[in-house]
């Protein structure tokens, strides 16, 4: 039987679990995977779809973070660069190298010499796992590789290399990796309350958000991995708990790549406020981000405001002056809350990482707060080390597996062989390239669906390479429950088409219904 089945409330209620992880973003999925790989009985519950929180609203970079170098956070950069190398290996179909242009302009806060020094250090810290060494270029050289950049004040620049991933699919792959290692997964399953045995947290009251049914789940330990929601869950344990987080809002917008004409990813400082921004290529699209503003701490209320769009468009236009981007060019937007740690005198400056923190509540619930997409495995390892000790197990047994076992689809490094089979099936080359990039070594399962039911080769949307077989696959193996799960996260139709995927909605709903009847 496939392990990728949503656990029903009945299953969850009748059997207890050693570890209950609450929150199916990258952090919770990473913890469930690490724990399952170490042989711990673990259940992961998510109130909505996996990755539907912050983990599908990031800048999608798997990176060391040049900007942290400037802040002197060498340890964090080193750790992130190591993780970049590991993730490029564990999921080569999802995490891919990305070349960045860093232009130098006269009078900027960070002068060219300092940026060059920083990039040399970045390469050194990446060590043998480096993607490629950076290269510095004069003005003419830089304009040759990125011709539409503003040339006023430009003195030269650099080409360096990081990585990019589909954050929602990376989260999903991590959750599926957990299931493959024995974890039980339940999306659309919300923790309503914690259960106590005396003063100890001993499980949770769960509600199936699709049916409204409720049940109790007994757990020896509970981990709160709810990202920006983590203080809400902590208050179910301790109503007086002081907030751990002080989140900020980050927005991105998507425009057709041809409208900007960027050939690479570009990192630059906004002339409006000196903040570091990215212009990032994504197939035929470019996304621009991100804002960083104080936000209402309610993660359910985060939206892109007109002022966010104006700021990003004006910043991008200042860098690419021939683009003249206007609001009408914006195809889609997304906003998320950075789960940033509130300043706390209790956190030592020399702490292992100031980016995330694990706290134990009065009832024994562990909360992990802060962190990055890039470092999710490190965060998971630290949490599961503690969990293992609390459950009376060795913290070292199985500890290395999370860096060795590929994520689903990541079993093959070279994917070219899969292309020929797709073309033989009669799929268009653009769809084949796209599908191989989405599914990696799992692509034969998509081809098998196309062979069994040739109508599944049909495109889902006239503007997009996605095909109908992806809907069947999403229901059978990727725990998709709603049309939104498929339009927004299994495919990115909602962000990568001019009508937010609406032209595909009817067929997605019909295929979803047909799959449900079959299962």
Q: Give, in order, the Cα–Cα distances in Å from 493 to each of 332, 381, 464, 497.
A: 10, 34, 7, 6
What is the closest distance, in whole angstroms, from the C-beta atom of residue 72 to ligand FAD in the complex? 19
Q: Other CB atoms closer than 10 Å to residue 189's CB: what's the count? A: 28
Among 101-109, 365-373, 448-456, 481-489, the segment contacting ligand FAD (CB under 6 A): 365-373
Q: Counting contacts by CB under 6 A, is residue 224 touching ligand FAD?
A: no
- Which of residues 105, 160, 188, 229 is near ligand FAD by CB under 6 A? 229
Q: Does 77 bind ligand FAD (CB under 6 A)?
A: no
Binding of ligand FAD by 44 (CB under 6 A) = no
**Binding string, residues 433-462; x marks residues near ligand FAD by CB under 6 A:** ------------------------------
Residue 290 in contact with ligand FAD, rule: CB under 6 A: yes
Beta-sheet strands, E only, within 232-317: 248-256, 265-269, 276-282, 285-289, 293-294
DSSP per-residue codes, 155-206: EEEEEEEEEEE-HHHHHHHHHHHHHHTT-EEESSEEEEEEEEETTEEEEEEE
Which region, judged by CB under 6 A, interacts with ligand FAD, from 45-53, 69-77, 102-110, 111-119?
45-53
Exactly one of 93, 259, 372, 477 binds ligand FAD (CB under 6 A); which one?
372
Window 332 to 361, contacts with ligand FAD (CB under 6 A): 336-339
According to CB under 6 A, which one of 9, 19, 34, 46 is a site residue for ligand FAD?
A: 46
Phi, psi of 191 (to 5 degrees): -80, 120
Greatest Cα pair distance, the chain, in angstroms, is 71
Q: Which CB sits closer to ligand FAD, 233 or 331?
A: 233
Q: Are 149 and 142 in contact (CB under 8 A)?
A: yes
3-state helix, strand and coil shares in percent for the chain, rounded to the nearest 5: 40, 25, 35
Q: Could you tell me which residues are beta bridge partners of residue 201?
A: 196
Relative to beta strand 154-165, strand 135-138 is antiparallel
Q: How far is the CB of 251 from ligand FAD (least distance, A)?
A: 7
Q: Does 174 bind ligand FAD (CB under 6 A)?
A: no
Where in 18-37 is the site for ligand FAD (CB under 6 A)?
A: 22-28
Shortest Å distance, C-beta 304 to ligand FAD: 11
Residue 365 tokens, joined: 């619930």
Q: CA-CA distance, 427 to 423, in Å (whole number)? A: 5
**What is the distance between the alpha carbons of residues 133 and 499, in angstroms, rounded to a whole number?**
40
Among the listed ranges 227-235, 318-326, 342-350, 444-452, the one in contact with ligand FAD (CB under 6 A) is 227-235
Judged by the rule CB under 6 A, the positions of this chain that interact with ligand FAD are: 22-28, 45-48, 52-55, 57-61, 190-191, 225-229, 233, 250, 290, 336-339, 371-374
């Amino acid at each position: 039987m496939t392990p990728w089945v949503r656990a029903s409330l009945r299953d969850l209620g009748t059997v207890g679990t050693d570890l209950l992880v609450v929150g199916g973003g990258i952090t919770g999925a990473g913890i469930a995977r690490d724990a399952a790989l170490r042989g711990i009985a673990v259940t992961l519950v998510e109130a909505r779809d996996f990755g539907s929180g912050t983990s599908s609203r990031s800048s999608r970079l798997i990176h060391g973070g040049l900007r942290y170098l400037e802040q002197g956070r060498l340890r964090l950069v080193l750790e992130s660069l190591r993780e970049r190398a590991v993730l490029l290996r564990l999921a080569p179909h999802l995490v891919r190298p990305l070349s960045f242009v860093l232009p130098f302009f006269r009078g900027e806060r960070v002068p060219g010499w300092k940026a060059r020094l920083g990039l040399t250090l970045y390469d050194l810290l990446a060590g043998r796992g480096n993607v490629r060494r950076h290269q510095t270029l004069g003005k003419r050289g830089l304009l040759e590789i990125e011709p539409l950049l503003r040339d006023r004040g430009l003195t030269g620049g650099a080409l360096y290399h990081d990585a990019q991933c589909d954050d929602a699919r990376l989260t999903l792959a991590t959750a599926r990796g957990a299931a493959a290692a024995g974890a039980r997964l339940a999306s659309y399953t919300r923790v309503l309350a914690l259960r106590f045995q005396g003063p100890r947290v001993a499980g949770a009251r769960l509600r199936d958000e699709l049916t409204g049914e409720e049940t109790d789940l007994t757990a020896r330990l509970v981990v709160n991995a709810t990202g920006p929601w983590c203080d809400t869950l902590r208050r179910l344990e301790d109503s007086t708990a002081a907030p751990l987080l002080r989140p900020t809002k980050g927005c991105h917008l998507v425009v057709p790549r041809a409208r900007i004409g960027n050939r690479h990813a570009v990192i630059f400082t906004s002339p409006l406020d000196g903040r570091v921004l990215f212009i990032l290529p994504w197939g035929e699209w470019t996304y621009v981000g991100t804002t960083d503003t104080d936000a209402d701490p309610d993660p359910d209320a985060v939206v892109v405001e007109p002022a966010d769009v104006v700021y990003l468009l004006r910043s991008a236009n200042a860098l690419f002056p021939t683009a003249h981007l206007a609001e009408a060019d914006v195809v889609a937007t997304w906003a998320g809350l950075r789960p940033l740690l509130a300043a706390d005198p209790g956190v030592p400056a020399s702490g292992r990482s100031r980016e995330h923190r694990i706290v134990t509540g009065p009832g024994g619930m562990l909360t992990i707060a802060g962190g990055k997409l890039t470092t999710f495995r490190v965060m998971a390892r630290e949490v599961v080390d503690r969990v293992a000790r609390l459950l009376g197990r060795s913290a070292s047994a199985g500890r290395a597996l999370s860096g060795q076992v590929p994520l689903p689809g990541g079993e093959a490094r070279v994917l070219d062989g899969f292309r020929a089979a797709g073309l033989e099936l009669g799929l268009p080359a653009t769809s084949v390239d796209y599908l191989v990039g989405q599914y990696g070594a799992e692509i034969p399962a998509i081809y098998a669906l196309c062979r069994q039911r040739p109508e599944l080769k049909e495109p889902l949307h006239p503007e997009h390479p996605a095909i109908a077989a992806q809907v069947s696959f999403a229901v059978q193996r990727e725990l998709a429950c709603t049309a939104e799960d498929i339009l927004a996260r299994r495919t990115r139709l909602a962000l990568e088409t001019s009508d937010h995927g609406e032209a595909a909605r009817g067929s997605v709903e019909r295929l979803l219904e047909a799959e449900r009847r079959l299962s």
